[in-house]
């Protein structure tokens, strides 16, 4: 698995530091509130786990499964809800926990949906931001690290469902996906 990675972009140590810093900021910004953390499956899982432990507030944790990639390396632009929330967001402050914001399609769609359902506020905490990939204008409020327009895997991020369990974020060697696509 490690041999398929050309470069480590965000190390385990850096991820730990990002979670601590963002956790402290969210603890400060949401003091006196009990926000709902909504993780977007499956990519959010390691980040949701590590970030939530650094937030010193009573929070609800809920999950949605949405899809815009359908297994490839670029967004289809068509956001599908595969699994919906099991709690109401009406009258609640929501923090969406995302692995990465690229085109903005996923986040813009979900923010609009949750506001339509009556959320008092909706913000994003994303581990990674790729602003050069944006096709819809959106500036996430809480960003762990801004990265260039590269396809990355690890720490929740997959290529064809693999590499999510890498403890760091890395760049996949192009030959890995070109050889897969030619199969
Ligand atoms: P957006 O809707 O902003 O284009 O993309 C958001 C979703 O696309 C992310 O939650 C993630 O699942 C996927 N995505 C975007 N960029 C990357 C990337 O570099 N690597 C991987 N593995 N997934 C990505």
Asked whether the whole model's pTM tops 0.75, one would answer: yes
CB neighbours (10 Å) of residue 56?
12
What pLDDT sits at residue 120?
98
Cβ-proximal residues to 92 (8 Å cutoff; 6+ apart), any chain: 35, 36, 60, 119, 120
**32 carries an active-site annotation:** no
- Encode pLDDT of 7-41 as tens digits: 999 999 999 999 999 999 999 999 999 999 999 99
If one compares 143 and 182, the residue with the highest pLDDT of the two is 143
- Encode pLDDT of 98-134 as tens digits: 999 999 989 999 999 999 999 999 999 999 999 999 9
* 155, 13 Cβ separation under 8 angstroms: no
What pLDDT sits at residue 85?
95
If one compares 69 and 104, the residue with the highest pLDDT of the two is 104
Nearest C-alpha to atom 9 of ligand 1 is from which residue? 100
Establish whether residue 158 lines the binding site of ligand 1, counting it when its CB lies within 6 angstroms of any ligand atom: yes
Largest CA distance in the chain: 54
For residue 156, report the distance from its CA to the centre of ligand 1, in Å. Answer: 11
Gyration radius (Cα) of the chain, Å: 16
Query: Is 69 a residue whose pLDDT tops 90?
Result: no
Q: Which atom of ligand 1 is nearest to the CA of 99?
A: 10
DSSP assignment of 29-55: HTTT--PEEEEEETTTHHHHHHHHTT-
Question: What backbone torsions phi and psi does residue 13 show, to the nearest 5 degrees?
Answer: -65, -45
Question: What backbone torsions phi and psi does residue 16 show, to the nearest 5 degrees?
Answer: -60, -45
For residue 123, report the distance from its CA to the centre of ligand 1, in Å. Answer: 18
Query: Is 181 a residue whose pLDDT tops 60?
Result: no
């Amino acid at each position: 698995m490690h041999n398929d990675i050309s470069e480590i972009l965000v190390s385990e140590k850096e991820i730990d530091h990002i979670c601590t810093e963002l956790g402290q900021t969210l603890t400060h910004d949401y003091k006196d509130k009990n926000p709902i953390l909504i993780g977007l499956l499956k990519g959010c899982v390691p980040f949701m786990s590590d970030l939530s432990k650094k937030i010193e507030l009573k929070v609800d944790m809920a999950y949605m499964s949405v899809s815009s990639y359908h297994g490839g390396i670029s967004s289809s632009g068509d956001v599908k809800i595969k699994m919906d929330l099991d709690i109401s967001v009406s009258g609640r402050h929501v923090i969406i926990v995302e692995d990465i914001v690229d085109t903005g399609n996923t986040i813009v769609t979900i923010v609009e949906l949750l506001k339509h359902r009556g959320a008092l506020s909706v913000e994003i905490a994303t581990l990674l931001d790729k602003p050069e990939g944006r096709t819809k204008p959106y500036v996430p409020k809480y960003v762990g690290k801004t990265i260039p327009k590269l396809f990355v895997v690890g720490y929740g991020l997959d290529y064809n469902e693999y590499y999510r369990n890498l403890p760091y974020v890395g760049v996949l060697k192009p030959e890995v996906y070109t050889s897969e696509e030619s199969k």
